Structure 1
Amino acid sequence: MTDTTLNLSHQLKLPCGAVLANRIAKSGMSEQLADRDGAPTDKLRRLYACWARSGAGLLITGNVMINRDGLVEPRNIVLDDDRNLADFATWADTVHAGGTAAVWMQINHPGRVATVPFTRRPVAPSAAREPVPGYNLRKPRELTGTRIQELIRSYGRTAELAVAAGFDGVQIHAAHGYLLSQFLSPLANTRDDHYGRDAVGRRRALLETVAAVRAAVGPHVPVSVKLNSKDFQHGGFTESDSLDVAVALADAGVDLLEISGGNYAEPAMEGVHHTGEAYFADYTRKVRDRVDIPLMLTGGLRTRATMETLLRDGVDLIGMARPMAFVPDYPARVLAGEAEPVLPAGPRPLGYRPLDGYLQLAAHNAQFHRIADGRTPHTHAGLGTVLRALGKMSAAMAGQAVLPR
């Protein structure tokens, strides 16, 4: 049922009882601002101090790795034990001191798309290569059933530590081609045991992860899942599959389902399959017809008019990502009714989707580092900016000391 009176400034009460201050959230974007041990840095805290004043009611962190045997990028945050818990507590405190925003930790494992220098042999649901240059050089090891259960417990442990450090909730990343997304994909998961075989088996690892996280954080802490609408790959995770997973997640008691789409091979989350606003709105309407849990839509949203139309159509929370890399207070401007800022177009597409998506990510990451250094973001995102960002990423990769077991 839709509510024609909703607007962006209204609070959102989640099933667990937590309340968000308004209907705009910063969606997770990988910051790559950890120290050599995977701990939060002063730069990361400066970035979040800025976003804490952004006007958003919720900040969802970028990738926080559940253990050290796989990183998505160099300088990812890692939370797999309590060695740096005080640094994580300071990170959460930074957000809480800056305003009314809640902060949730996005927890993740890369599976077969782990960063090359730190994982010579990545793991995956099946021994199938990622079809993207760079990743397809390495054939992953198929996870044993015992190792899958260990990883599921690791998700629960990271969630427990996040809440102990003062984070207000957690989001399980099951989109964009990472490990739990790989389990959902018929292309990446060809197992013949109860973690594969059919659609029910392929979603088992995700549902068991949700149960482990819920058990770790208790009934009153928000537990969210980020889910692809589809993978945009022939023979992969389809919209029909995704709708069934959404129903299963609602039955499992998640507090918020964030909808996105795509992966490294088909980076739909970066807009390569779409024009205009609200990349995944049609799918979201179909989910709303099937479930009544809160829904967050991320991807291509820019204008207040579109955002409020979506709220009245059944979306509960508006997710913003790229705009907040270039205009950190974008939510506050939208909430105030100001004209939406003009955003840079980003690097010129080269025509190869995986590379175009990666260049977009590099352009965003360059702005995070500028904000973290106390500088204002660029008003452009040309190739020169991206190349400098890639140089910094390479230097970070060379100096990374978080090594896999």
Structure 2
Amino acid sequence: MSHLAEPIQIRQTRFKNRIIKGAMSEALANDAGQPNHLHFGLYEAWAKGGLGCAITGNVMVDARAKNEPGVVIVETERDLEKLKQWAGIGKKYGMVQLIQLSHPGRQCPKGLNKETVAPSAVPFSPLLATTFATPRELHEDEILDIIQRFAESARICEKAGFDGVQLHGAHGYLISQFLSPLTNKRQDQWGGSIENRMRFLLEIYKATRQATSENFIISVKLNSADFQRGGITEDDVITVFKAIDDAGIDLIEISGGTYEAPVMAGAKADKRKASTIAREAYFLDFAEKIRQQVKCKLMVTGGFRTVQGMNAALDSGACDFIGIARPLAVETDLTDRLIVGQDVRYAVKPIKTGIPFVDKMAIMEIIWYAAQFKAIGQGKRPNPKLSPLKVFLNYAKNNVKAVIKGRINSRKSA
């Protein structure tokens, strides 16, 4: 029997197979950040396709800190009934559902929020500085508030019926910003040594565990590397993995990269060694190394395309779960097909508009797939041949509208 079809358990929750949908931005919420029928339709399509577990896209813990238009926000029980409806989809089809909780920190487009905050006021690289403003450094009372926001959002998610949450500590978002010496220049208890830089993550985990029940799953997504000169070292990364494992984390998803070095979107994939390419997954080598250091479950996402490659990764013991993201955006029934031995149909290729500065930012690796999600949520079939340029122009138009509306609301509240 394929390893992919083997069930596994975390706490009291049974996963019917080893395939997890990695988080991808849906961008389907309304201006108030509320989930709706499009989310329900999308996740039901994946559930019907046999998926063992789905991790949602970014769900914000603070309405003042949105990473993009259309993102879901969970900071109060305002949308509890809608969240219950969403969670009910997983219960109906036996699909475990984890909400990915996130704070973007500095990674917010200019004008979307009143301001951006981060561990330190570190500007972006020249390429991205036109899109992302230099953030304001967080005060300690604000850091403590954000920690509690993660915990409160998790409490609400459990009340709604979700099986657990994933703390987004990768890809250059706020937790990742605290971990990296490139973006954390603080001299207090939240910066400096790796013990101080990982304090934010550990305090979020502790607060989240205290706010939820014993059987609620808490996972985290962490970078194996930032892939930036001067970023977090491998020794520091291993220290973080061991510390969060010792604290009691249930599952770690291994990823890598930031907006400035988007390895998680396939950037630099063609520069990997031949032996690494043959093994498919971007971060499998690191998973094998960290497997010897931690006892929690591990998930590797990025690069898997064949049943053979997935089964080999599971058989090696390097990971317990196979994370699949972009292929599921164009093949909602992919899980059922993988279980019976069929490979991914559509090769994932870089999404290019032909506009150089846009393509360098890899933003299309988010918004092109979000366009597919909207179609699926509406009950339509995904379109692998959808024009990237058309998607970008539509996104730019909607983003401008959101920025203008945000500025008007800011003036009204001033």
Q: TM-score, normalised by structure 1?
A: 0.93
* Residue identity matched to 1:218: S
The change in CA–CA distance for 1:43 and 1:353 in structure 2 (over 3 A counts) is closer
Q: Counterpart in 1 of 2:349?
A: 345
**1:301 has 2:304 as partner:** yes
SS of the residue corresponding to residue 375 of structure 1 reads coil
* 2:113 aligned to which of 119, 123, 130: 119
The separation in 1 between residues aligned to 2:382 and 2:134, in whole angstroms, is 39
* Residue identity matched to 1:297: V
The separation in 2 between residues aligned to 1:136 and 1:396, in whole angstroms, is 16
- Cα deviation, 1:332-363, whole Å, max 9, x if unaligned, reads 11011124312353424867697352122122
| Cα contact 1:229–1:238 (8 A) shared by 2 | no
SS of the residue corresponding to residue 118 of structure 1 reads coil
State the Cα RMSD in Å: 2.2
1:137 positional shift: 5.4
Q: Counterpart in 1 of 2:273?
A: none
- Cα deviation, 1:101-124, whole Å, max 9, x if unaligned, reads 111100000001123223232110
In the alignment of these two chains, the number of paired residues is 399
The separation in 1 between residues aligned to 2:95 and 2:377, in whole angstroms, is 19
**1:73 has 2:60 as partner:** no
| Cα contact 1:267–1:354 (8 A) shared by 2 | no
SS of the residue corresponding to residue 106 of structure 2 reads helix
- Cα deviation, 1:144-178, whole Å, max 9, x if unaligned, reads 11110110000000000000111111000000000
Moved more, 395-404 or 169-178: 395-404
* 1:325 aligned to which of 311, 326, 329: 329
Trace 1:116-195 onto structure 2 (pairs within 5 A).
116-131=110-125, 132-134=127-129, 138-195=133-190
Q: Counterpart in 2 of 1:261?
A: 256
1:67 positional shift: 1.1
Q: Counterpart in 2 of 1:242?
A: 237
SS of the residue corresponding to residue 343 of structure 1 reads coil
Q: Counterpart in 2 of 1:8?
A: 4
| Cα contact 1:125–1:188 (8 A) shared by 2 | yes
* Identity in percent: 36
**Off by >6 Å, runs of 4+ in structure 1:** 349-354, 399-405
* 1:397 aligned to which of 399, 402, 411: 402
* Residue identity matched to 2:282: Y
Q: Counterpart in 2 of 1:211?
A: 206
* 1:225 aligned to which of 220, 227, 232: 220
The separation in 1 between residues aligned to 2:285 and 2:353, in whole angstroms, is 25
The separation in 1 between residues aligned to 2:196 and 2:333, in whole angstroms, is 43
**1:371 has 2:376 as partner:** yes
SS of the residue corresponding to residue 269 of structure 2 reads coil
* Residue identity matched to 1:347: I
The separation in 1 between residues aligned to 2:242 and 2:219, in whole angstroms, is 14
Moved more, 327-336 or 169-178: 327-336
SS of the residue corresponding to residue 63 of structure 1 reads strand
SS of the residue corresponding to residue 185 of structure 2 reads coil
Q: Counterpart in 2 of 1:110?
A: 104
SS of the residue corresponding to residue 111 of structure 1 reads coil
The separation in 1 between residues aligned to 2:219 and 2:152, in whole angstroms, is 16
The change in CA–CA distance for 1:263 and 1:137 in structure 2 (over 3 A counts) is closer
The separation in 1 between residues aligned to 2:71 and 2:30, in whole angstroms, is 8
The separation in 1 between residues aligned to 2:347 and 2:361, in whole angstroms, is 18
The separation in 2 between residues aligned to 1:392 and 1:323, in whole angstroms, is 27
* Residue identity matched to 1:193: D
The separation in 2 between residues aligned to 1:156 and 1:168, in whole angstroms, is 15
1:392 positional shift: 6.1
Gaps of 5+ in 2: 271-276
SS of the residue corresponding to residue 90 of structure 2 reads helix
| Cα contact 2:352–2:359 (8 A) shared by 1 | no
Q: Counterpart in 1 of 2:286?
A: 283
| Cα contact 1:113–1:130 (8 A) shared by 2 | no
* Residue identity matched to 2:197: R
The separation in 1 between residues aligned to 2:390 and 2:77, in whole angstroms, is 37
The separation in 2 between residues aligned to 1:71 and 1:329, in whole angstroms, is 31
The separation in 1 between residues aligned to 2:29 and 2:314, in whole angstroms, is 35
SS of the residue corresponding to residue 286 of structure 2 reads helix
| Cα contact 2:31–2:69 (8 A) shared by 1 | no
The separation in 2 between residues aligned to 1:340 and 1:17, in whole angstroms, is 31
| Cα contact 1:256–1:295 (8 A) shared by 2 | yes
SS of the residue corresponding to residue 335 of structure 2 reads helix
* Residue identity matched to 1:281: L
The separation in 2 between residues aligned to 1:255 and 1:189, in whole angstroms, is 27
1:390 positional shift: 2.3
SS of the residue corresponding to residue 287 of structure 2 reads helix
SS of the residue corresponding to residue 57 of structure 2 reads coil
The change in CA–CA distance for 1:303 and 1:396 in structure 2 (over 3 A counts) is farther
The separation in 2 between residues aligned to 1:187 and 1:163, in whole angstroms, is 35
Q: TM-score, normalised by structure 2?
A: 0.91
Moved more, 168-177 or 33-42: 33-42
The separation in 2 between residues aligned to 1:210 and 1:177, in whole angstroms, is 18
The separation in 2 between residues aligned to 1:190 and 1:231, in whole angstroms, is 16
SS of the residue corresponding to residue 59 of structure 1 reads strand
| Cα contact 2:171–2:223 (8 A) shared by 1 | yes
* 2:194 aligned to which of 188, 196, 199: 199
* Residue identity matched to 1:331: T
SS of the residue corresponding to residue 128 of structure 2 reads coil
Q: Counterpart in 2 of 1:29?
A: 24
